[in-house]
């Protein structure tokens, strides 16, 4: 089974848990709508890749971990798109959840997906209570306050932003969760996997800044130019396009050399290289020269 | 230590976990603002009362369970007050979180409190992984979709409401969580405690309907007449004031007789009786006659 197939099956199975019985049908539909079809599923792909590099000896736990992480990510997209944040009409090329279902249902969809993520991990405890508890601790730590993605969004309401804390929590947190949860799911210590997650997170931030600055809304599948519009810090405005691309490559080399020793180390390095290729946008001027 | 002191200490300690380090300060403050000073703390009071009736042999777990339950309840109040739901300006006699801090911060406060609830329970796993996992399963089940308070709110977006599922999930769910989590925290089976929670939830719903119909906003500490305004089903419009009070008493007798056999059975029955007194509003006409 390919990684994408495995991730999509895990996400479908998790959503199904939230839909059984006599659930209100619109909210039930909205849970599915918010998570499928997926985007690049990059966080669960990293999680699975790390788990597999570490032996993946309890695949049910790995699947639950991948689904839980993706549910939290999707919940954050649904809430970030709300009128009081980005007020985004489109997401992944279709109407955002509050546009398709209503604002109350978008708030509830995000809330329900967050709760479902922890329910899925608690259910996976039948396979290993110890790993399930550590997964819940890691996911909650990287999602909430004071270190997680909620803190990251919270920084945008401050007059004075701690930029390093802002980027680490806003973008880095769920990549750290991805590498650490992959290790935990495979029965390994999570600490040595912090750095890989943090560096992939940094790379992703720079790549996102590049895409936001270079691409139009249609290519992105979401509104472009949001950083300029909301006055958010952006690597392109600080380093220029070439500087940002060069920085992205440096971070990814660092990420690869930070991979802890494990049976699937070489294959994991290859995966990070592939993600790097996929992440790096080609500026329109160079694409034209190459064409 | 009295129950209220114990609950407030547990809630303060839980919020402190969400505020440590370099957290964004407004969101950090809003977490505390949303949970203190508390309302009646009725759900954690029931949880602690059940745990104590069952021996309370692991008080750290009981405290974590009480705090987690109250955090989820406070999160639901913050999100329910948002402009897209009740658009409430006041809550517990002070400005609602979105009025005091902004709408983005209110969304993030609710999200952060939900996540923090699960983090607190996962941290309590050092005392007993088995009980922590069961607490997380129970709390997530009674909070999210398809059975929890998110489902309850979700029903309000449906053209045709399943009234029994609506009331069970909207109001009953967190009372069922209260009795079952109290039993789990004390190392007992949660199943026999379902009925007590469900009946207290029904009683609370009728009492809330009575208060919504009889009291003004100042007495309530939140907007009155919301059920009529939003066309929501209400026991007073169905049974009249006297009929609703009589129904409330019947439900509470049933609740008391449903208490499973346990060392502190008599004391627990007394607690339910006291809650019943506190819950039952005195209609203004009778208060005038009595005065």
Asked whether the predicted pLDDT for residue A84 surpasses 50, the reply is yes
d(Cα A47, Cα A73) in Å, to the nearest integer? 13
Q: Measured between CB atoms, which of B26, B111, B122 is closest to A158?
A: B26
Helix, coil or strand: residue A264 = coil
pLDDT for the residue A216: 76
Count of C-beta atoms within a 10 Å radius of residue A231: 8
pLDDT tens for B86-135 read 999 999 999 999 999 999 999 999 999 999 999 999 999 999 999 999 99
Residue A82: its chain B contacts at CB < 8 A?
107
Of B106 and A207, which is predicted with more confidence? B106
pLDDT for the residue B288: 46
First to last CA, chain B: 36
User: Mean of the pLDDT values across residues A205-220?
Assistant: 82
Alpha-helical runs (H) found in A41-96: 42-53, 59-80
ipTM: 0.92
- pLDDT > 90: percent of chain B: 72
Asked whether the predicted pLDDT for residue A290 surpasses 60, the reply is no
pLDDT tens for B216-242 read 777 776 677 777 776 677 888 889 999
Does A115 contact B155 at a Cβ distance shorter than 8 Å?
no
Q: What sign does the dihedral B145-B147-B148-B151 (CA atoms) show?
A: positive
Q: Which two tokens stand for residue B165?
A: 């599922």
Q: Measured between CB atoms, which of A111, A140, A162 is closest to B150?
A: A111
Residue B111: its chain A contacts at CB < 8 A?
75, 79, 110-111, 114, 144, 150
| Closest residue by Cα to residue A46 from A259, A197, A261 | A197
Residues 6+ apart with CB under 8 A from B139: B65, B68, B69, B72, B117, B118, B121, B177, B181
Long-range contacts of B156-165 (CB under 8 A, 24+ apart): B156/A104, B156/B230, B156/B232, B157/A24, B157/A26, B157/A27, B157/A101, B157/A102, B157/A104, B157/A105, B158/A24, B158/A25, B158/A26, B161/B233, B162/A22, B162/A24, B163/B233, B165/A22, B165/A24
d(Cα B218, Cα A96) in Å, to the nearest integer? 39
pLDDT for the residue B286: 54
Does B82 contact A118 at a Cβ distance shorter than 8 Å?
no
Closest Cα of chain B to A54: distance in Å? 24
- Superfamily in which the B3-285 domain is placed by CATH: Farnesyl Diphosphate Synthase (1.10.600.10)
Domain boundaries, chain A: 3-282
Residues 6+ apart with CB under 8 A from A261: none
Residue B19: its chain A contacts at CB < 8 A?
145-146
Radius of gyration of chain B (CA): 19
Does A111 contact B111 at a Cβ distance shorter than 8 Å?
yes
Burial environment of residue B278 by CB neighbours within 10 A (0 to 12, 13 to 18, 19 or more) = exposed
Closest Cα of chain A to B71: distance in Å? 13
d(Cα A273, Cα B231) in Å, to the nearest integer? 57
pLDDT for the residue B238: 85
Q: Which fold, A3-282?
A: Farnesyl Diphosphate Synthase (1.10.600)
Look-up: residue for tokens 């999160």?
A: B75
pLDDT for the residue A237: 85
pLDDT for the residue A289: 45
Select from B145, B147, B168 the residue whose CB has the most chain A CBs within 10 Å, as the one to mutate to test that interface: B145
């Amino acid at each position: 089974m390919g990684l994408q197939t495995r991730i999509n099956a895990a996400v479908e199975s998790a959503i199904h848990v939230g839909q059984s019985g006599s659930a209100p049908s619109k909210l039930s539909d909205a849970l599915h709508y918010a998570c499928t079809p997926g985007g690049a599923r990059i966080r669960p792909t990293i999680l699975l890749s790390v788990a597999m590099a570490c032996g993946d000896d309890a695949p049910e736990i790995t699947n639950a971990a991948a689904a839980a992480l993706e549910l939290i990510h999707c919940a954050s997209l649904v809430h970030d798109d709300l009128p009081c944040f980005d007020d985004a009409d489109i997401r992944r090329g279709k109407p955002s959840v509050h546009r398709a279902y209503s604002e109350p249902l978008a708030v509830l969809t995000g809330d329900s997906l967050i709760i479902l993520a922890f329910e899925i991990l608690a259910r996976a405890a039948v396979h290993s209570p110890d790993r399930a508890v550590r997964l819940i601790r890691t996911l909650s730590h990287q999602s909430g306050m004071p270190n997680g993605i909620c803190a990251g969004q919270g920084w945008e309401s401050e007059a004075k932003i701690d930029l390093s804390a802002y980027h680490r929590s806003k973008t880095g947190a769920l990549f750290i969760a991805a590498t650490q949860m992959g290790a935990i799911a495979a029965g390994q210590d999570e600490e040595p996997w912090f750095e890989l997650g943090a560096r992939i997170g940094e790379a992703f931030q720079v790549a996102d800044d590049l895409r936001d600055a270079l691409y139009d809304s249609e290519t992105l599948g979401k509104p472009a130019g949001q950083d300029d519009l909301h006055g958010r810090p952006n690597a392109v405005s600080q380093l220029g396009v070439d500087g940002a691309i060069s920085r992205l490559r440096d971070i990814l080399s660092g990420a690869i050399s930070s991979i802890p020793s494990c049976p699937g180390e070489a294959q994991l390095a290859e995966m990070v290289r592939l993600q790097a290729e996929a992440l790096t946008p080609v500026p329109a001027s160079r694409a034209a020269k190459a064409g």
